């Protein structure tokens, strides 16, 4: 039996938006074949599935998604972007676990819906519903809409705000007002008339128990700093760090992650706090005065714009005109083009490989990168080095090649287009 086999349901959800049909099926044969020689998780599985289903959005979890392994709540959304490239978007918080608890490992969404629709992935199988009153709402309204429509369940949402309707590089604002999508997922969704993907979970996982012992290793030994250290590696980040330090409040973490790297904007005397996930740099990048910063972030999250992309809109703008400023900047600007998600974190040589390994295993790629002391293999095997996982290194390498192949093909294409 291949290692990490027990971590999969071995089921796949197929959704065709054009015909409105949904199905839950066993893994296709080619994916099962790949599972013999590599780990069919995350972006590696997406690479295989996109080969089968063509122009499709693949939501994929890794083998470790949903375990108690640190940072293991990753959902990888892979979709074709302009120029024939493929984008792997890591989605954090609790979305990966939410997909896996619906009883499937991967969901393939293909076709274009004739009218605005919602995709609900629950433990009773996927279903497509008409968007109804959802279209035209801003993101907070959308969240309220779902709370009323699906009471009693806690759902993870992937929402397209109004900005994605402008045909621009709007982003998918996730449930907690955050985004790791730099303008890839949201344009795909809005192009295919898919306004929201709801993961309701509620089922069970194919395994019980976890790999917690790594938790104790993670904190003291990894030598990682808070999120502000990230800014040091970003261009012009040192100044940003100074600004952000003053404005950010206490930290927060994704599901199953012991390391708090996100931050809240510090609630001022009259303003509320907001969760800043990956965009701690937002505070400095937008150059707004600290008091109006929450309203600037709120404007981005309300309209569904990636805050870091939108930050430049706020320079020299009065707080009451923030919404207008974003619209002026983004309306009609085509989606950003780029085949891969880049992590501006560490300049280590193996960093891209570690990030990709995280995307295959279903662990937060930021966390994997920033704990260089812990080998990726240990992440999956646990500290007691499972005898089952003896051949694990080779399999991981194979899956990395699989995932990277799709990436390099797309990269070459992109390079050709760019240098034209």
Partner 1 sequence: MGSSTCRIPPPNPELQPQQGPGHRSYGRLPAPAEVRKPSGSLWKSWKNKIRPKREPRMVFDPDRCTGCGTCEAVCAARDGSAPDASRIQILREETAGANFAVFCQHCLDPLCLPACPQHAISRGESGIVSIDSRLCAHCGLCIQACPEAAPQRGPDAKVLKCDLCGGHPECVEACPHKALSFSSGKALGWIKLLRWPVQVLSFLFFVIILIGTVCSVSVADLSFGCPFGLLQNIAASKVILLATVFAAIFLVFLTILTGRAACGWLCPFGFFLDLVGKIVPQRFQLPRFVRTRLAKYGVGAAALGVSGAVGYQAFCTVCPIGTICRSYGLQSVVGGAELAILPTVAAMEVSEKRSWCRYLCPVGALLALCAKIGLIKIVIGASRCKKFSCMRCASTCPMGIIPESDLREGISPKLDASECIMCLRCVDTCPHSAVKIRFRWQKGVPAERRAPCGASNGGGQCLR
Partner 2 sequence: MQDEFERALSDAAARFCVECGKCTAACPMAEMYSDFSWDLSPRGIVQQALRGRDILTGKAVWCCTQCEACTRTCPAGVDCCGLVAGLRPLARTAQGAEAPVSGACADCGAPLPPKPVLDYLRSALHGAELRYLSLCPACRRQAYIRNNS
| Shortest distance (Å) from residue 259 CB to partner 2 | 23
> Is there binding between residue 86 and partner 1 (CB under 8 A)?
no
Near partner 1 by CB under 8 A: residue from 132, 136, 213, 260: 260
Binding mask 141-180 for partner 1 (x = CB under 8 A): -----------xxx---------------------xx---
Least CB distance from residue 283 to partner 1, whole Å? 12
Q: Is 195 in the site for partner 1 (CB under 8 A)?
A: no
Q: How far is the CB of 55 from partner 2 (least distance, A)?
A: 36
Binding site for partner 2 (CB under 8 A): 144, 147-149, 151-152, 154
Q: Do the beta carbons of residue 338 and residue 87 sit within 8 Å? A: yes
SS3 109: strand
Nearer CB in complex with partner 2: 144/233: 144
**Residue 249: beta bridge partners?**
none
H/E run at residue 47: helix 42-53
**Can residue 226 be called a binding residue for partner 1 (CB under 8 A)?**
yes
Supply 350's token pair. 């193996």
Residue with tokens 């069970």: 204
**CB distance 355 to 369 below 8 Å:** yes
**Based on CB atoms, which residue is closest to partner 2, 248 or 402?**
248
Q: Which is nearer to partner 2, 146 or 227 (CB)?
A: 146
264 binds, among partner 1, partner 2, none (CB under 5 to 8 A by kind): partner 1
Dihedral of CA 15/18/20/25: which sign? negative
Taking CB under 8 A as the criterion, which residues in 277-296 touch partner 1?
Answer: none
Q: What are 127's strand-pairing partners?
A: 120
Where is 118: in which H helix or E strand?
strand 117-122
- Residue 215 is a binding residue for partner 1 (CB under 8 A): yes
**Dist CA 93 CA 181 (whole Å):** 13
Distance CA 168, CA 76 (A): 22
Map residue 189 onto helix, strand or coil.
Answer: helix
CA–chain centroid gap for 132, Å, is 26
Residue 12 touching partner 1 (CB under 8 A): no
Q: Are 42 and 403 in contact (CB under 8 A)?
A: yes
Restricted to residues 173-192, the positions that interact with partner 1 (CB under 8 A) are 176-177
User: What residues make contact with partner 1 under the rule CB under 8 A?
Assistant: 66-68, 73, 94, 97-98, 100-101, 123, 152-154, 176-177, 201-205, 208-210, 212, 215-216, 219-220, 223-228, 245, 248-260, 263-267, 272-275
């Amino acid at each position: 039996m291949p290692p990490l086999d027990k971590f999969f349901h071995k089921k796949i959800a197929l959704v065709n938006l054009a015909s409105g049909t949904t199905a839950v099926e066993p893994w296709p044969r080619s994916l099962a074949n790949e599972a013999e020689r590599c780990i069919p998780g995350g972006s590696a599985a997406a690479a295989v599935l996109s080969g089968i289903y063509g122009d499709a959005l693949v939501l994929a979890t890794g083998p470790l998604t949903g375990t108690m392994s640190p940072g293991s709540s990753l959902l990888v959304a892979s979709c074709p972007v302009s120029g024939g490239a493929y984008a792997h978007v890591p989605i954090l918080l609790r979305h990966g676990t939410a997909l896996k608890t619906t009883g499937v490992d991967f969901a393939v969404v293909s076709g274009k819906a004739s009218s605005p629709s919602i995709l609900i992935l629950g433990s009773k199988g996927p279903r497509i519903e008409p968007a109804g009153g959802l279209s035209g709402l801003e993101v907070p309204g959308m969240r309220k809409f779902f709370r009323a429509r699906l009471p009693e369940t806690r759902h993870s949402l992937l929402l397209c705000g109004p900005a994605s309707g402008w045909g621009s590089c709007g982003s998918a604002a996730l449930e907690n007002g955050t985004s790791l999508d730099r303008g890839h997922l949201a344009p795909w969704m809005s192009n295919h008339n898919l306004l929201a993907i709801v993961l309701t979970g509620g089922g069970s996982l194919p395994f019980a128990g976890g790999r917690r012992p790594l938790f104790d290793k993670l904190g003291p030994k990894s030598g990682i700093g808070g999120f502000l250290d990230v800014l040091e590696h970003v261009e012009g980040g040192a100044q940003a760090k100074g600004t952000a330090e003053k404005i950010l409040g206490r930290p927060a973490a994704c599901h199953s992650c012991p390391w708090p790297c996100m931050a809240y904007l510090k609630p001022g005397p009259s303003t509320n706090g907001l969760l800043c996930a990956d965009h701690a740099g937002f505070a400095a990048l937008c150059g707004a005065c600290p008091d109006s910063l929450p309203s600037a972030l709120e404007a981005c999250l309300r309209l569904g714009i990636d805050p870091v992309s939108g930050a430049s809109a706020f320079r020299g703008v009065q707080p009451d005109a923030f919404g207008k400023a974003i619209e002026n900047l983004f309306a009609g600007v085509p989606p950003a083009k780029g085949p891969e998600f880049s992590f501006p974190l560490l300049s280590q040589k193996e960093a891209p490989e570690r990030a990709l390994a995280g995307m295959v295993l279903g662990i937060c790629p930021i966390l994997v990168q920033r704990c260089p002391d812990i080998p990726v293999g240990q992440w999956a095997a646990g500290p007691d080095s499972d005898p089952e996982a003896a051949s694990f290194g080779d399999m991981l390498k194979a899956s990395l090649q699989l995932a990277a192949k799709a990436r390099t093909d797309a990269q070459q294409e992109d390079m050709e287009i760019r240098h034209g």
